[in-house]
Amino acid sequence: MISVTSNSILLYLITNFSDFQLACLGSFLIHESVFFLSGLPFIYIERAGWLHKYKIQPKNNTPEAHERCIIRLVLYHLGVNLPVMIFSYPIFRHMGMKSSLPLPSWNVIMSQIAFYFVLEDFIFYWGHRVLHTKWLYKHVHSVHHEYATPFGLTSEYAHPAEILFLGFATIIGPAVTGPHLFTLWLWMVLRVLETVEAHCGYHFPWSPSNFLPLYGGADFHDYHHRLLYTKSGNYSSTFTYMDWIFGTDKGYRKLKSLKDD
């Protein structure tokens, strides 16, 4: 079972806040905290020139580009993300989500999160490919590709329509399984950290892709941002096997082979 400390924290929360407050406002605050605390450091690293030898692309973004991204992200999160959390709350409750004690075992939590990662990656892959068709790219997905040299915070910089469209891939797993709120929060934290890392623009010796088989990471996704929409490939969010199966990573694998040689 989960530790006594976790139980104590949750007991305090459910005693002092309603399910609605925890599921909507609590989730929003956790998301914002994890997202900006993990993403902002990459802006300062880029501006200061630290760890430049690990930077995938030599080009740096301007301070104005960083500021524009942050301002629009705050507007998107308040205008899109928060309302989605509020309006999806009844669905999660209907499917069985709860916040009461006892907490589920780690086996249950991790098996659900593993399922969410696989399902999200599958849906995201096809949704992302659709967004790279000519009309949708021009009118929707091109917003995300304004930053050909991505940094952590650009992971959620996108057209509001895309936020809703691809956000479906993130919430569908929890929506159909009705997990404990603790599981939902942990899934959200891990998903945010994963997408920030994929957009960070740096490939470190300690990057997860160096240790986790089939994990894409920053080097895999950075390639996607460097190319024109018709030739980008690497559409998956977390893993690499969907692109390998459907041959949409051929350019990336060829480039990696040339670098190795």
Per residue in 39-73, pLDDT (tens digit) is: 999 999 999 999 999 999 999 999 999 999 999 99
Looking at the chain, the whole-number percentage of residues with pLDDT higher than 70 is 98
Retrieve residue 149's tokens: 């040299």
Per residue in 167-206, pLDDT (tens digit) is: 999 999 999 999 999 999 999 999 999 999 999 999 999 9
Domain hosting 43: range is 4-260
Structural domain count of the chain: 1
pLDDT for the residue numbered 230? 65
Contact 140, 159 (CB under 8 A): yes
Retrieve residue 194's tokens: 């994963």
pLDDT for the residue numbered 113? 98
Q: What is the Cα gyration radius of the chain?
A: 19
Per residue in 19-38, pLDDT (tens digit) is: 999 999 999 999 999 999 99
Per residue in 123-148, pLDDT (tens digit) is: 999 999 999 999 999 999 999 999 99
pLDDT for the residue numbered 57? 95
Per residue in 78-125, pLDDT (tens digit) is: 999 999 999 999 999 999 999 998 899 999 999 999 999 999 999 999
